[in-house]
Amino acid sequence: MQSSVLVVGGGISGMTAAIEAAECGRQVYLVEKEAYLGGRVSKMNKYFPKLCPPLCGLEINFRRLRVNPLVTVMTGSKVEKVTGASGDFTAVIKTAPRYVNEKCVACDDCVKVCPVNRPDDFNYNMSETKAVYLPHAMAMPAKYVIDMSVCKGEACSECVKACKYGAIELNMEEKTTTVKVAAVVYATGWKPYDAGKIENLGYGQIKNVINNVEMERLSAVNGPTGGKIVRQDNAEPVKKVAFVQCAGSRDENHLPYCSSICCLASIKQANYVRDQYPESEVSIFYIDLRAPGKYEAFYKKMEKDKNVKFIKGKVARIEQDESGRATVTVEDILGGGKLKESFDLVVLATGMEPTMKTDKAVDVVLNDDGFMELDRQTVDGFIPAGVASGPVDVTTSIQNSTGAALRAFQCGVGKRG
């Protein structure tokens, strides 16, 4: 019988499950496929409804990790195989080479000499980094990483020469680790629904049509524009911005469920626009405005802003006009008739698609939407957390991830009797 816990996914849900378990005295292995912890949340500019920076809570969690020796963080890693049964699993974890070892001091000398650029996936490819890069300024761990798909390798070796600390290992190899655990918490999170699949909305074709996660980066000080919300074709300030709700969600052809967070995310992003441009006008096209519970106040406050219009109507299509702006055609249910209006920027409130829908872990049971329901699992000891379990907001993710830690204790050594 084991007492350790394996947590798959190092976003806010996985970090929460890991830290909460470790603070109860459990050994935890936290496995994250990216080179840094924090997942989607680290790319968010602000949270609704407080409009506070997610980095603030992340930092507290990072500190909890720093002072807690019971959590083994494995970034750049994937769980390849889990065998055994509840209370006694064996998991095989593959760690991709980072090409930068633990001697890295984050001094940035390597970046100064690296001759190759790559799209910055942290900024959803809206900017570039060098082939050697720090994922972002607050990255945990604060160690650089090399993207070997673009690095020129030993033929170049400029970074190797520049690094005074011997931190670069261009021939680093994949590592395999085997751990024994009592339970596996799957906190694999989500990805934004590919808006390119919604043909009539022009995403991918019209420059000034972006999705809501890109809007977060565009608004963030550490984003591609230093926080300036600008038109994507000419970098001019925006005067009129539209938000198109249920872009993919509540649609049998795309995501049949409601993604729960998009209404509030758009209200939050409308705040970004209104704060940055006092003269700006915002239109939010929605089917039902879903601001449950206390979030209602956040909606009500925005409703009072005369420059923000909430329009109940389904967007039929988006086209580019001759000036490069995006023209939105919408069935205006409340006003009656059709509405056609041009905007400098259109933000598609794309929904959340569970990561496991396309990248399912072996032996995990998913429902038709791709979510992992606890009661459907055929392997006892496989526990879902966060958005892997259903489309929920950050705070609900944290609640059920905290609970996931306790469910893990009910396997193996912590099991009663």
Partner 1 sequence: MTQEQAPKKTGAYICSGCGIGECLNVDELSKVAKDELKTPVVKTHPFLCGSEGVELIKSDIANEGVNTLSIVACSVRVNYDIFDFGPEVLLDRVDIRERVAWCHEPNDEETQALAGDYIRMGLAKIKEMNHTSPYKIESVSETIMVVGGGITGLTAALNAARAGHKVELVEKEARLGGFMNNLKKIFPQTAPYDTVSVNDIEDRVKEVEDDPDITVHLNTTIKSISGGPGMFDVSLKDGSQSKINIGAIVLATGFKPYDMSKLTHLGAGLPDVISGVDLEKMALDEAIKRPSDGKPARRVVFALCAGSRCDEHLNYCSSVCCSASLKQADYIRKSDPDASVTIVYRDIRTTGTTEHFYKSIQQDPGIFLTKGDVDNVKHEGDELYITIKNTLLGGPVTIKADMLVLATGIVPTAFDEKVVATIPNDQMQDFDREQVGKASILNLEYRQGPELPDLAYGFADSHFICFPYETRRTGIYSAGAVRHPQDSATARNDAVGAALKAIQCVKMVGRGRAVHPRSGDDSYPEFAMERCTQCKRCTVECPFGAINEDEKANPIPFPTRCRRCATCLGACPVQIISFKNYSIQMIGAMIKSIDMPDEFDEKPRVLAFICENDAMPALDMAGINRLKYSPVVRFIQLRCLGSINLQWVADALSSGWDGIMMIGCKHGDDYQCHNIKGSAIAEERTGKVQETLDRLMLESDRIRVESLAINDYHRIPELIDGFVEEIGNMEPNPYKGF
**Smallest distance from partner 1 to CB 204, Å:** 26
Q: Which of residues 304-343 bind partner 1 (CB under 8 A)?
A: 312, 333-334, 336
Residue 287 DSSP one-character state: S
When binding is defined by CB under 8 A, the residue of 3, 10, 20, 224 that contacts partner 1 is 20
Q: Is 24 in the site for partner 1 (CB under 8 A)?
A: yes
Beta-bridged to residue 181, according to DSSP, are 89
Strand pairing category for 117-119 and 209-211: unpaired
User: Diameter of the chain by CA atoms?
Assistant: 73
**Smallest distance from partner 1 to CB 155, Å:** 27
**Smallest distance from partner 1 to CB 109, Å:** 8
Cβ neighbours of 156 (radius 10 Å): 16
- Alpha-carbon span 283 to 244, nearest angstrom: 9
Question: How wide is the angle at C-alpha 53 spanned by C-alphas 40 and 270, nearest 5°?
Answer: 85
How remote is the C-alpha of 53 from its chain's centroid? 14
Closer CB to partner 1, 102 or 279, in the complex? 102
Q: Is 291 in the site for partner 1 (CB under 8 A)?
A: yes
Q: Is 193 in the site for partner 1 (CB under 8 A)?
A: no
Q: Is 53 in the site for partner 1 (CB under 8 A)?
A: yes
Q: Which of residues 65-84 bind partner 1 (CB under 8 A)?
A: 66-68
When binding is defined by CB under 8 A, the residue of 113, 138, 162, 172 that contacts partner 1 is 138
Closer CB to partner 1, 275 or 373, in the complex? 373
- Alpha-carbon span 32 to 103, nearest angstrom: 21
**Smallest distance from partner 1 to CB 147, Å:** 20
Closer CB to partner 1, 66 or 81, in the complex? 66
- Alpha-carbon span 353 to 90, nearest angstrom: 29
Cβ neighbours of 288 (radius 10 Å): 11
When binding is defined by CB under 8 A, the residue of 165, 236, 305, 323 that contacts partner 1 is 165
Closer CB to partner 1, 57 or 76, in the complex? 57
Pick from 197, 153, 349, 346: nearest CA to 264: 349
Given a contact cutoff of 8 angstroms between Cβ atoms, the answer to whether 107 and 2 are in contact is no
- Alpha-carbon span 337 to 323, nearest angstrom: 26
Q: Is 254 in the site for partner 1 (CB under 8 A)?
A: no
- Alpha-carbon span 309 to 286, nearest angstrom: 11
With a CB cutoff of 8 Å and minimum separation 6, the contacts of 404 are 13, 17, 185, 187, 383, 384, 385
**Smallest distance from partner 1 to CB 268, Å:** 12
Q: Is 23 in the site for partner 1 (CB under 8 A)?
A: yes
When binding is defined by CB under 8 A, the residue of 226, 235, 279, 304 that contacts partner 1 is 226
When binding is defined by CB under 8 A, the residue of 60, 85, 150, 362 that contacts partner 1 is 60
When binding is defined by CB under 8 A, the residue of 97, 257, 309, 342 that contacts partner 1 is 257
When binding is defined by CB under 8 A, the residue of 137, 197, 340, 359 that contacts partner 1 is 137
Q: Is 54 in the site for partner 1 (CB under 8 A)?
A: yes
When binding is defined by CB under 8 A, the residue of 236, 305, 373, 380 that contacts partner 1 is 373
In order of 133, 147, 178, 318, 374, the CA distances from 337 in angstroms are 52, 52, 62, 17, 46
